[in-house]
Every structure is written in structure tokens, then in C-alpha cells.
A and B are shown apart, each in its own frame.
Chain A
């Protein structure tokens, strides 16, 4: 699992590459949760995540709660088809905004500011 963090203005973009499973989800969680601060804008780029088990769902749940608690925003980018299916069948997709590209994700986060 590779985790890369970049900053685009007021957006923190985290790119994941590899598999999010019971062996790697803890590391992702440790990297992500400290980035969630008051009113944060977080973009989670999952274009290069090829597999996600329920350990990844658990990680996303914790992220969602933390972002909600801190009145922040999170957008998921580039979910692969089967990961999207997994999130849809468990109801997770209803709780996250997702889009196909980083550019779209940045636009979504910017649009939120305008509201």
C-alpha cells in the first residue's frame, strides 16, 4: 500500500495505491485521520486501489465519522467498479460523494464552499 499526501490550496489530497485489506487498512487509517481537522476538505484518490475488503469499509466509516464530527468535507475519487459495487451493496455509497477524476473532486469541494 502506497500513501501519498499533496496539498492543493485548501484541499488535502491523499492518493492510495494497492489493496486496502485487513493488513493495510490500519496504516491508511493512521495516515488519514490526523488530516481531518475542523472544516477540512479532503480528497481521497482511490484510482489505483485495486481491491478493498470490509477492513476498508471500516476505515471509511471511521473517516466519515471523523469528518462529520469536524464539520469537514470528503470526496472519493476514481472508485473502481467492484469497489463501488461493494460500497453500494453495503449502503456506504449513499454517505460519500464520489467522482471519476481528481479535477472533478477539486471542483466538488470548491462548489461546496460556494454554498
Chain B
């Protein structure tokens, strides 16, 4: 499978909430380049937003070194893959919570926990590795042109 980087230049931003809009714009532009439909694009943006928010709110290291988030995109014939790298402490979102225990706003249920669930729901494949003191999260969605479209365009 021939891979190529998206035309978009990789983006590095400080690990702060106010830079999440820039990440969203990046993901939306990559989605456009990959010809994703609205639903797939929305879910992918949601997935990246949720994981990045989690990194910013909970994953920062104690190091004095300022943490950063870097995002870049990779395209092949079948998939768009968004790579999100951060310099925070190690944390695998895929192991964070069992999604089947999350059901609605019942009284007494703890507030929160849906972000990672939505992130997993939003993509076809999610992969996490810890390498060289960095967290690498990969979000992969199938492109519509491959014939096995996950949902019809709306």
C-alpha cells in the first residue's frame, strides 16, 4: 500500500486548551483532502479533540519542559491516518475505561468518562504507543473511495 503524507504541513502547538481549535482545523483540512464524508469527518475531529483534551487536562508530565502536541496526517488509497504526538506522561487511552459501562446520566454516576469512549467510537482503528518519552496516538478512518464505506454520506 503506497502511503504519502498529506499535503498539510505537520502542526505543533503548546499543550493548552486554546490550541485545540487549530488541531480541529488541521483534522478538517485533512478530512477534506481525503474526501471523507461529513459524518466520518465529524467523528474523526471528535476523536482527536477528545484525546487531545485528555492529554492537556490529565496527561501533562511534571517536567519543566513545556509540553507540546504535534499532529500530522498520512493518506493511502484506503485510509486517512491522523498521528497525534505529545510529550506528556505515559497514558494509553484505549485502556482507560471499559466503554460498555457507560450509559447515560443516571443519578450517582460519576461525571465524565465519555470522551475516550467517543474517541474510540469515532474511528475505525485507534493505536497507541509510548516511545522515546512521547505518546503516539494514531486515528485511522476508512476513505469512502475504497468501496467499503462505513456509513452513507448525509
Contact A57 B39, beta carbon cutoff 8 Å: no
Contact A53 B53, beta carbon cutoff 8 Å: yes
Q: Which residues of B contact A65 (CB under 8 A)?
A: 105, 107
List 20 A-B pairs, Cβ < 8 Å: A21-B49, A22-B17, A22-B53, A23-B17, A51-B46, A53-B53, A53-B118, A54-B53, A58-B114, A60-B105, A65-B107, A81-B39, A82-B39, A86-B46, A89-B121, A90-B103, A90-B117, A91-B102, A91-B104, A95-B105
With A54-B50, A57-B114 known as contacts, the answer to whether A23 contacts B20 (CB < 8 A) is yes
**C-beta contact mask, B51-71 vs A, less than 8 Å → 1, else 0?**
001000100000000000000
Complex alpha-carbon distance, A94 and B114, angstroms: 16
Closest 5 A/B residue pairs (Cβ): A91-B104, A54-B115, A91-B103, A61-B105, A54-B114
Majority SS of interface residues in chain B?
Answer: helix
With A51-B42, A53-B49, A62-B111 known as contacts, the answer to whether A22 contacts B20 (CB < 8 A) is yes
B147 interfacial by beta-carbon distance below 8 Å = no
Instruction: Give the distance to chain A from B94, nearest Cβ to Cβ, in Å.
Output: 16
Give the interface size bracket for A toward B. 20 to 34
Majority SS of interface residues in chain A?
Answer: helix
Within 8 A of B (CB), among A1-31: 21-23
B18 interfacial by beta-carbon distance below 8 Å = yes
B112 interfacial by beta-carbon distance below 8 Å = yes
Contact A54 B102, beta carbon cutoff 8 Å: no
Complex alpha-carbon distance, A60 and B111, angstroms: 10
Q: Which residues of B contact A90 (CB under 8 A)?
A: 102-104, 114, 117-118
Complex alpha-carbon distance, A89 and B103, angstroms: 8
B9 interfacial by beta-carbon distance below 8 Å = no
A40 interfacial by beta-carbon distance below 8 Å = no
